[in-house]
Structure 1
Amino acid sequence: MKPLCRAALLLLLLCAAACAQQSPCICEKNKRVINCRVVNGVCWCDSVGSGVSVNCETLTSKCLLMKAEMTGSKSGRREKPKDAFEDTDGLYDPECENTGVFKAKQCNGTTCWCVNTAGVRRTDKHDEDLKCNQLVRTTWIIIEMKHAERNSPLNTESLKKFFKDTITNRYMLDGRYITGVLYEKPYITIDLKQNSSDKSSGDVDIADVAYYFEKDVKGDSIFHNNILNVSIDNEALKFEKTVVYYVDEIAPEFSMKSLTPGLIAVIVVVIVAIVAAIVVLVFTRRRKGKYVKAEVINFYLCCMCGEGVGQNAGTS
């Protein structure tokens, strides 16, 4: 009887192990995962590319999402804040901490640079000796979208309500971090602000929210079979362009070296054109001055000659 019980117990253990190896859950908030399993009633999966376990009940960090996306790949409006900058490098294969956040120093071969908490380059590119002493926090993210023409005009209040509800419900961001939704036809601007002192351990990061949102708007949703339907007052809202700006708690450290050759060429051409215009202006003024002076001298000589002729005629 005992051998039979042992065999039954062994069979149960094998069944439990087999069930544990299966994927009994779907990560609704991240489709770029593998090895999904339920742990204490929560769906946990391994992020593709890094193997870091992620909680599927919340958003996955932007660093892990970028890492997963790179796996197998080839690699009239409101004035922007002075230190706001765009992500001009796009997608790259990042180095992530075990917690999922970006490492302050990122490299591609022997070329390295420093990034902020959104993973966006904030310094010039250098060699491997570059020092990035800290991961600078992005405290303000500005999402700017240009919408296509609509049959009916957009209602500003409906627009604000839609985006605030979407960001708080779909991306689980506390409403206090949404500091503004501005509409200046055809541009929509959303402000997300989150200081490190205000952010609690359970709050999602605004950088992760912005990344999820940008992917949704561009039709490349990270969610599993859950496409964002942007509809205001029962009419779909299509976007022609989406740009994200980042403002860090410490200003970025860019120099002229970071400018692209094309931009430098444009600057040089403009400077040469300005110098040429100044030279032409000075030269023209000088010629004009000489001409006026010559006219005055000729007039004076004529007067003198005329006066002499008159005197001679009277004498004779």
Structure 2
Amino acid sequence: MLRFVIRRLGALAATLLISSFLIFAAMYAAPGTPESFLVQGRTVSPEVLASIRAQYGLDDPFLLRYWNWLSGVLTGDLGESLTTRQDVASLLLSRIPTTLWLTLYAAVIIVVFGVLAGAIAGLRGGAFDTAVLLGSSVGFAIPTFFAAVLLMSMFSVTLGWFPVFGAGAGFADRMAHLTLPAVALALPAAAVVARITRTAVVEERGAEHVSVALARGVPWRVVARRHIVRNAMLPVTTIVGVNIAALVAGAAVVEHAFTLDGIGAMLINSVQQKDFAVVQAIALVLVAVFGVVNLVIDVLYAVIDPRVQFGGESA
């Protein structure tokens, strides 16, 4: 188990290294240049343009620029924003709490409503099962941005139950401000998780070992918990983890719609302004989140089912 975790950490480090190079190269391959944004469309002399390029090291060879940036990242120096002239690490630290609260809130919604509704639908069937199937189909079909607009119109403008803009201050106020954004962010993922959980539970419910346990007189509650739901959680764990990891990237749309000061909204603004350092830092954070979540999922397999083996090594 320990060797498996060490190997996965090494693979994660290699993934981050390769991703950092691709992210750095993609920004410089995109149309436009940083200096064109810095001069704001004004006509400047070649001397001024050369001074700007020298200041930001834009005349250095590509590999040298990448090495300088990577060396800074490894020491916690993510560079300086071209637009605000502030330290990128400080900008991220000021924005991460909002995105973290939003994604955690959405993750709770996915787990509670997605997994719970899917499990109950798979175990009970009937009208509740039909309702979950219909609701998951509708939830998956609604785009996140449209869901955000719909929720704002219904629960904020019409009913006045929730505030629309900002992240709030204090726990209770923050939860009130983030409820609609979290629901909009979690809706498609919760629908997918509910459908897959329901399918996994139905398959396990029809398994032979469940019939044998019931025939031996094992109470249904015990069979449902130990034989059906527990075995069904292996594929569900993967889907939940992938969708939770994707929340950080999907938060950009929701944060922009609700004018939240998170890293998602900052990513959109930075891409539009060609702010290389900020875009590169946020993209690297997204890759790191996906890698860490996948590692956690693999480790959770051993917790859910001790029979799982990692690379020929018993958990």
TM score, norm. by length of structure 2: 0.22
Q: Which has the higher strand share?
A: 1
Higher radius of gyration, 1 or 2: 1
Greater RCO (CA < 8 Å, at least 6 residues apart): 2
